[in-house]
Structure 1
């Protein structure tokens, strides 16, 4: 082999080696860029999620402040109305007696004609008999209206401020059984399926978590009421996984669309008929779970039902 061919071979080998090294460097750099891009995408998604959480938290805090103000403004006149209604009920028997007496006097032939004429004139708008029949029903309706307003105010206050901290070590399996007994009359028209396992005690506000379970059960029951084509079923399960206690409530009701799913935790948002819901139940649930550093996950399909799972950390 000539010296010229040897030099050419050496040059070729050097060029090939340099090219292989360059391709290796390029491949490694491309791999690093790809991994960096994946990491960047994950961080962008995490930041977007955190932004949404912050926006939701700020929104809930603002609404909480507004709710507290509205609740206090309503509470004062509500106290007057409620007190006066109680007084009216105390007067009720006397008023009804006077109306019956007035009706009898208006039909009597033994009273002064001028007085009788006045009784007759008074009854032109509405008879004493009808007034006596309606006055009790009217009072009951007004009392029911006041009761509903008081319930709304109570929900507003529960949403706007944390309740007195009464945290203690409790067994949430026992809490759930108590809630089932409490809600038995409300759930009598649905089949209730339970899978309640014994779970470790955890430090929490038993009243608050009990309210969460009750709200979720009643919402599940309501979701089944308009589903008439199959037997209505509501499920409640309690179990522990690693360092968390899971509370799941499911139903085979009407389910929710995507729009409803994005709004269910907003205060005053409700899909129930007028007079049947205040839209505060799930907002209160969200607030209680957040106070306990828990999470809540919702899965739902229209026409198939809904499953809501609450995860609470076990705190000793």
Structure 2
């Protein structure tokens, strides 16, 4: 994370340096050429020589400016920036040597360049120190190598100290500017990260809002269903009693067609009665402090199969159950987990159009627990997605076909029972989900 942030800061700073270097070199060209006016009033006898010297420095700076617009120039922006910064200092030092040496007024130009560098240009602290030291060395060389020598050593020391003070002030400004740029980048980076988090939070809240609305609808449907189940159960029982009475009539025993019709009616009403019973088990019981109680896992499996019966049409379903399937837990919640696993398996096989779709539900003892596995011969899970199947809102279905909460909720339910919902798959061949439940204490 830190390495990535540092690289990002360096990229931003490089672009910043490039822009300022271009603008600074243009300004330098203008100031160097405008200095002809200073030459005219200060040293008119050197006007031609100084003009040619200024023109040379301006042309060299222009060449560096044009190079900054190339790919190579952009990569070497720091070296090129220091190069065009040094050119005017060399020019001024040369003018000092040509004119009055330590008495030359042009040493003021050296100060101006250092202050401009420290306040405006985005160079590092060490580059700023190096620039100041080089300026001082150039001034000392120009004065000491002057043909007339140093007439006033005290003035040389004074001017040198002023240049040194300017170099220190420029370096301090450079240091503070560099810290300010780093802090500005950190703030920009934090704002960008917070914006990303905020957008992600907004997306999650929108999805949760949709889920809450869906839950409210389901709660309303559940309230309505509770009354309907009670009202539906009574007429079913009456009709079943009537069919049983009809089967006991002697004429029903002598008429094969009538007996077959009554048997079919009884079978249909029995199925309706089982569905009502399953729905009552699934809808009425709510998780709570008393939710961990013994129940027959076999009944929960068969209830889930009946409730998911519509999606399981045309699919061969194989059950492998032990003799004793007593477990401890929240039966309605486990039914919900099984419905979700069966529904996902059915959807996987429908999408791949298997010639012989099959789901194997197996319950086997495993120490003090029972392990339940649901295996299908669908399209399997892509290895890139298998680590994300239990993430909330992750789904490979089409938009609107699901919110991707089924497996994450099921994972939480199984975890509440002290188990782990796990998945194994071979892409293109099969998928198996399994979990375990505790047995009642002996």
Q: What TM-score comes out, normalization by structure 1 length?
A: 0.49
Q: Relative contact order: is structure 1 or structure 2 higher (C-alpha 8 Å, sep ≥ 6)? A: 1
More strand by share: 1
Larger radius of gyration: 2
